[in-house]
Amino acid sequence: MSISLDGELSMDDLVDLACEGVEAELSDEVRARVKEGRNTLEELIDETDRPIYGVTTGFGDLVREEIPEEKRRDLQGNLIKSHSAGVGDPLSEETVRAIIALRVNSLGRGNSGIRLSVLEQLVELLNEGVTPYVPEKGSLGASGDLIPLAHVASILIGEGRAYYEGELLPAQKALGRAGIDEIALREKEGLALINGTQAMSAVLALGIPEIRKLVRYADVVGGLTTFILGGNFAQYDSRIYELRPYESQAQVAKNLRKLTEYDPENYCPSNVQDPYSIRCAPQVHGSVRMALSHLSEVVKTEINSVTDNPLIFNNPKAVVSGGNFHGEPLALAADYMKIGLSELASISERRVNRLLHPELNGDLPAYLAEDPGTNSGFMLAQYTSASLVSENKSLASPASVDSIPVSGDQEDHVSMGMHGAKALEDIIKNVRKALSVELISACQAQEFAELALTEPLKDIYRLVREDIPPVNEDRELSTLINRGSELLKKGGFLEEISEKYGIS
């Protein structure tokens, strides 16, 4: 099986390329487009005396510097070397593979002016398992992700380092072992390789499947908590959501009706109204789904876009400078998602509080302890959840409202989109752990409540208990929280519940 990188890439295919080792290929149509774009660029270089940015000029603030013909190829290699200025821990190998796939997908549109052999070299990196070492810090999100993409491109010219068969090697050694030749870059090719939004796009695209799981888990875990606390299930009645017709909120309410087996004709609530963390789950969880929907649409468009500069057009032949490299669409969507996803942890922590608080949890023991006082039970699990929620508040601070001018004020507004994307990665991990705290707390509460659970909730409880035991006396809780988080990350538990009961 192989996946064609032809400008129509799905996020599922990207995950397969990045995480599952599926091979990439170039279609005949892509090959023809790339050749035509390169021919157009070479004709324009020969025929025009007008400056072409990054071909006959310097870069950034050095745009006014004319590059003589004999130095134009050196210019491209120098660009890669000078822009490889990243610091910090490396991006994951999966993220870097996604970056390469997305760069190929964009360059294959034929508007960047590279030779086909350069594109084929990038595909070889993917298929032979050579993964560049890319530091995570340095991108400003305009002109795209210059620094991370330069670290990717540096491998092609024998610079930098790369992972190959489990080892981190100098680029030349990694290429040699994989049987890949170095390349000598020609006009515009260095610029084409590094000018784009593929690093932040890759981080966000790989995060979306994880967020999709979390929004469903929030419903599943919240439904279990609601049932154990004796919630009023009428708050999920479909008639409520017809009067405020947000599709996402209606879906959450539908999930909660299925989990609690709410039947409006045969239901008598035990209380008039629940607190907001219980009653307003559809409104809050549903709003997070709206943020996810927006992020998904933006990323779907971005991963199939051309974000290079300048761009090559064939009919009529032209080189046109623009700003498609600016990461603002991604930066704003990432910030929206960060804020939304943080709310899942925030409302979850409030539900945990109601499970533990002796004045709020009905007949359950204080902090779900077997012998309150002698044992502290799950008291400190809430501390962990509160800490995660607090950290998320800092991480959710919008990155896109910041901009620092660079390159002699030529690049005087940037998106900081990579900052937002990386912060979202951390929020995903924190939310998963916060939901784990609620999940294991709700299951612990069931040990004391001994309720007749609905069939869906009975299955959830069973699946958790297959891996996470009840707490009969005080013990270290980190292992249980981490096990719960791993359970949520794997997704098998969710798929079983979703398939059996139609939770979506």
**Burial environment of residue 140 by CB neighbours within 10 A (0 to 12, 13 to 18, 19 or more):** buried
CB of 21 closer than 8 Å to CB of 122: no
Chain centroid offset of residue 81 CA: 28
Question: pLDDT class for 60, splitting at 50, 70, 90?
Answer: confident
Residue 174 pLDDT more than 90?
A: yes
Q: Output the average pLDDT for the chain.
A: 96
Give, in order, the Cα–Cα distances in Å from 452 to each of 221, 354, 443: 17, 20, 13
Residue 47 pLDDT more than 90?
A: no
Closest CA to 228 of 263, 274, 287, 265: 274
Q: What percent of the chain is predicted at pLDDT more than 70?
A: 100
Across residues 184-200, what is the average pLDDT? Answer: 97
Alpha helices in 357-407 (DSSP H): 379-395
Residue 357 pLDDT more than 90?
A: yes
Asked whether residue 409 is domain-assigned, the answer is: no
pLDDT in tens, 376-405: 999 999 999 999 999 999 999 999 999 999
pLDDT at residue 278 in the model: 97
pLDDT at residue 59 in the model: 87
pLDDT at residue 48 in the model: 79
CB of 172 closer than 8 Å to CB of 163: no
On whether both 99 and 126 belong to a single domain, the answer is yes
pLDDT at residue 136 in the model: 98
Q: Which domain holds residue 302?
A: 204-401+415-501
User: How many structural domains does the chain have?
Assistant: 2
Domain boundary residue, one of 196, 228, 252: 196
**Rounded distance, CA 345 to CA 215, Å?**
11
CB of 310 closer than 8 Å to CB of 319: yes
pLDDT at residue 95 in the model: 99
Question: pLDDT class for 491, splitting at 50, 70, 90?
Answer: confident
pLDDT in tens, 213-241: 999 999 999 999 999 999 999 999 999 99
Across residues 110-132, what is the average pLDDT? Answer: 98
Residues 359-395: b if buried by 16+ CB within 10 A, e if exposed: eebeebbbbbbbeeeebebbbebbebbbebbeebeeb
Q: What percent of the chain is predicted at pLDDT more than 90?
A: 90
pLDDT in tens, 71-120: 989 999 999 999 999 999 999 999 999 999 999 999 999 999 999 999 99
On whether both 109 and 177 belong to a single domain, the answer is yes
Question: pLDDT class for 49, splitting at 50, 70, 90?
Answer: confident
- Ranges assigned E (strand) in 321-409: none
On whether both 255 and 168 belong to a single domain, the answer is no
CB of 486 closer than 8 Å to CB of 387: no
Residue 299 pLDDT more than 90?
A: yes
Q: Which residues contact 17 (CB under 8 A, 6 or more apart)?
A: 3, 24, 97, 98, 101, 126
Question: pLDDT class for 63, splitting at 50, 70, 90?
Answer: confident
- The torsion of the CA quartet 78, 81, 82, 87, rounded to 10 degrees, works out to 170
Kindly report the CATH number assigned to the domain that includes residue 141. 1.10.275.10
**Burial environment of residue 492 by CB neighbours within 10 A (0 to 12, 13 to 18, 19 or more):** exposed
On whether both 251 and 303 belong to a single domain, the answer is yes
On whether both 171 and 234 belong to a single domain, the answer is no
Q: Which residues contact 491 (CB under 8 A, 6 or more apart)?
A: 213
Q: How is residue 404 written in tokens?
A: 């620092």
Omega before 316 within 30 of 0, i.e. cis = yes
On whether both 322 and 469 belong to a single domain, the answer is yes
Give, in order, the Cα–Cα distances in Å from 20 to each of 45, 94, 343: 41, 9, 31
Domain boundary residue, one of 196, 226, 254: 196
Residue that wins the pLDDT comparison between 286 and 495: 286
Residue 264 pLDDT more than 90?
A: no
On whether both 104 and 226 belong to a single domain, the answer is no
Kindly report the CATH number assigned to the domain that includes residue 234. 1.20.200.10
Q: Which helix (H) or strand (E) holds 87?
A: strand 87-90
User: What does the DSSP assignment read for 473-485?
Assistant: S----HHHHHHHH
Residue 1 pLDDT more than 90?
A: no
Give, in order, the Cα–Cα distances in Å from 189 to each of 302, 308, 398: 21, 11, 34
**Rounded distance, CA 426 to CA 146, Å?**
23
Question: pLDDT class for 10, splitting at 50, 70, 90?
Answer: very high
Q: Which residues contact 349 (CB under 8 A, 6 or more apart)?
A: 382, 385, 386, 388, 389, 434, 437, 438
Residue 202 pLDDT more than 90?
A: yes
pLDDT in tens, 11-21: 999 999 999 99
**Token pair 């025929």 in the structure block, residue:** 47
On whether both 348 and 497 belong to a single domain, the answer is yes
* Residues annotated as part of the active site: 53
Domain boundary residue, one of 196, 216, 245: 196
Question: pLDDT class for 335, splitting at 50, 70, 90?
Answer: very high
Asked whether residue 437 is domain-assigned, the answer is: yes
pLDDT at residue 69 in the model: 87
pLDDT at residue 187 in the model: 95
pLDDT at residue 410 in the model: 85
Residue that wins the pLDDT comparison between 46 and 207: 207
Q: Which residues contact 475 (CB under 8 A, 6 or more apart)?
A: none
**Token pair 């032209």 in the structure block, residue:** 318
- The torsion of the CA quartet 41, 43, 48, 54, rounded to 10 degrees, works out to 20
pLDDT at residue 409 in the model: 83
